[in-house]
Amino acid sequence: MMESNVFQRTTTTDKIISDAQYNLAIGATLLWGFFINWVLVESVDPNYLYSINPFVFIILYFASAMYGIRLFSKSDDPLKSFIGYNFVVVPFGLIVNMVVSQYSPEMVSEAIQITGGVTLIMMILGAAYPAFFQRISGALTGALLAVIIVEMFQIFIMGIHSNWLDWAVAAIFCGYIGYDWGRANQIPKTLDNAVDSAAALYMDIINLFLRVLRIVGRRR
């Protein structure tokens, strides 16, 4: 058995795979998540999603996402971890559906390109300077919590939303991509760890994409 927390795993009895296989598994898992998001965007009417009671939707969203996170982070079975990953991908995909429906295809395409480029750069940096990203991990968490509190206060109390918040969140998730990619390369290279690492990166990338889309939308 491996340790329960994905990125604290230092030993394993599972089969070690090559670097190429490990990276391929991470990439394939990420692509699967993006594919499911595309299917949901193309097949689910966003008006139907908006018609659902917001409180019910939020409860179901968090229940599915948290169950998925718990499932993949606690499991050393790649199949079980992949199932948990899908419990995260689907609610994220529904959110993506609702957000992208508010923007033109050109804006969405531009946001995808920017997100892809930034992700690649941050993964390169994360692989080159894992110790740096490890050092700033606490600051990233603190900054994210602070921004969430400020954003919620502005939205629900003041009825406004400051543009700088989107830039701040985008910057934070850039840091998380570097951090999670660096950690992914520090743990044993097993198929299960590849799936778990992809799940963490998926959440970083989708959050970055949603903020980049808002920034692109305002600029246009």
Query: What are the domain boundaries of the chain?
Result: 15-219
At residue 3, the pLDDT reads 39
What dihedral do alpha carbons 91, 44, 211, 202 form, nearest 10°? 40
The pLDDT of residue 2 is above 60: no
- Write out pLDDT tens, residues 25-77: 999 999 999 999 999 999 999 999 999 999 999 999 999 999 999 999 988 89
User: Sign of the C-alpha dihedral, residues 46, 43, 62, 175?
Assistant: negative
User: Sign of the C-alpha dihedral, residues 130, 132, 135, 138?
Assistant: negative
- How far apart CA 65 and CA 71 sit, in angstroms, is 10
Structure tokens of 79? 């199949």
- Write out pLDDT tens, residues 151-195: 999 988 888 888 999 999 999 999 999 999 999 999 999 999 999
The pLDDT of residue 81 is above 70: yes
The pLDDT of residue 8 is above 70: no
Coil, helix or strand for 107? helix
DSSP character for 7? G
Q: Burial level of 137, CB count in 10 A (0-12/13-18/19+)?
A: middle
- How far apart CA 155 and CA 136 sit, in angstroms, is 28
What dihedral do alpha carbons 108, 124, 35, 50 form, nearest 10°? -50
